[in-house]
Copies of this chain bind each other. A is one copy, B any other.
Amino acid sequence: ENILEGKPVVYRQIVVPQPGPKEYCTDSGLVVPSISYELHKRLLSAAERYGLTLERRLEMTGVCASQMTLTLLGGPNRFTPKNLHQRPTVALLCGPHVQGAQGISCGRHLANHEVEVILFLPNFVKLLDSWVTLLFSLFISTDLPDTPVDLIINCLDCHENTFLMDQPWYRAAADWANQNRAPVLSLDPPVSGQGHAVEAKWSLSLCLPLPLAEGAGRVYLCDIGIPRQVFQEVGIKYHSPFGCKFVIPLHSA
């Protein structure tokens, strides 16, 4: 009864006003075009106007990114009661921006799932009181860890202030990550040509992908709960490519 009769399947269900230089597709062949950072920003502003606040977005991004991370760390095989004494360790590298806050939200959920999270923050970042209380499961540090970690989550880059890349804390963290043997997951990395000092094995983009450089590794896409009508508002014709998932792998088309 779930078999379609006759109607052809449409694989190009997302149409953007100015197609970016890259196109991706999902496992089931749906085309997911990349968009420019400017359009991405307008999309998020529109979502905010419709009530999808930064707080909601941070929570949703945190849950979905932590679900992906828990899978990368080994999923059900790794997280069993028999294994509780060997908790995986994640180094979370965060800059002073929304991307860093997204990382912290992810780290909070990881810590709740018995992952050992070491949060690196540059020492000038003053945490808001309201945040610190949410963070007390994390080990916060302004030094980079000198013990082995299972995974590095890179939230050092933001989409605008590339001058951050010249600062000593950034260089130290990026060098440490590149020299470390643990694989890197970049969360919401900027477009090709900006940032990306850290080579990633995987990258998780939000709602629609930016055109990412090779150094971003394998690209995944995260649903952050933007309704079709908000996409329409910025000129994007949209049908969800996510199916029943909230994080999906993308392939270069």
Contacts and interface: CB of A to CB of B under 8 A. Distances in A.
A77 interface: yes
A9 interface: yes
Contacts of A227: 108, 111-112, 134, 136-137
Secondary structure class of chain A's binding surface, majority of residues: loop
A125 interface: no
Interface stretch (A78-86, A167-175, A210-218): A78-86
Each complex incorporates copies of this chain amounting to 2
Interface residues of A, number: 64
Interface of A: 2-4, 7, 9-11, 13, 28-30, 49-53, 55-56, 59-60, 63-64, 67, 70-71, 73-86, 108-109, 111-114, 130-131, 133-134, 136-137, 223, 225-229, 239-240, 242-246
Given A112-B228, A113-B223, 18 more contacts: A4-B82, A9-B81, A10-B84, A13-B81, A28-B81, A51-B130, A51-B134, A55-B55, A56-B59, A63-B63, A75-B244, A76-B244, A84-B239, A109-B225, A112-B223, A112-B226, A113-B244, A137-B229
